[in-house]
Amino acid sequence: MTFPSSTSNPPGNAGDPGGQGLRKLETVREALPPGSFDITEFGQEPSWIGACNDQYFRRGWSTYGFSFSFNSYLSKADVLTDVTQNMSALGWGPRIAVPGGSWEWKRSFSGMPHATAHFAGPVGHPSYSLGVGANPRPPVGECAGG
């Protein structure tokens, strides 16, 4: 596919046609523990990266996903147990420990090669975060900074 210039947006949202991938990722909201409160949710659709402020970039679509932050009166161990069980019930797994005291899950969806979910907390007791993201349909773009 050829685009008229390095900064123009291609027509439509071919990085996630019809928003199907984003809707699949949004289901991770169901992994939040019962009784969660002060929930904030942010969704990011793929955007076209046509140019960056440096010479090291790839023209293409950005990653997309959802992030949730929430509070809970449950203990950290109970929150992790609930999130882990809920992620498993949603078809994610297994849980992988990552440096810094956080956890990840991976999953494939139809039409989406892979998605990654990341859980951390408490960020500032009792705040937690659960984010999920996926690569768009090719071409995948990136600025040198990520």
CA distance 36 to 95: 21
Q: Is residue 98 part of a domain?
A: yes
**Tokens 């904030």, residue?**
40
CA distance 96 to 118: 9
CA distance 34 to 50: 42
% pLDDT > 90, the chain: 46
Q: Is residue 85 part of a domain?
A: yes
**Does the pLDDT at position 91 exceed 80?**
yes
pTM for the full predicted model? 0.79
**Does the pLDDT at position 88 exceed 90?**
yes
What is the number of domains present in the chain?
Answer: 1
Q: Is residue 64 part of a domain?
A: yes
- Minimum mean pLDDT range among 23-27, 32-36, 54-58: 54-58
Q: Which residue has the higher pLDDT, 29 or 4?
A: 29
Average pLDDT over residues 67-81: 92
Q: Is residue 89 part of a domain?
A: yes
Three-state secondary-structure class, residue 26: helix
Query: Domain residues for 39?
Result: 18-143
Q: Is residue 4 part of a domain?
A: no
**Does the pLDDT at position 65 exceed 70?**
yes
Assign residue 135 a region (left: φ > 0; alpha: ψ between -120 and 50; beta: otherwise): beta
Q: Is residue 13 part of a domain?
A: no
Q: Is residue 131 part of a domain?
A: yes
- Provide CB contacts within 8 A for 7, sequence distance 6+: 50, 51
CA distance 5 to 41: 34
Q: Is residue 55 part of a domain?
A: yes
Name the band, by pLDDT with cuts 50, 70 and 90, for residue 86: very high
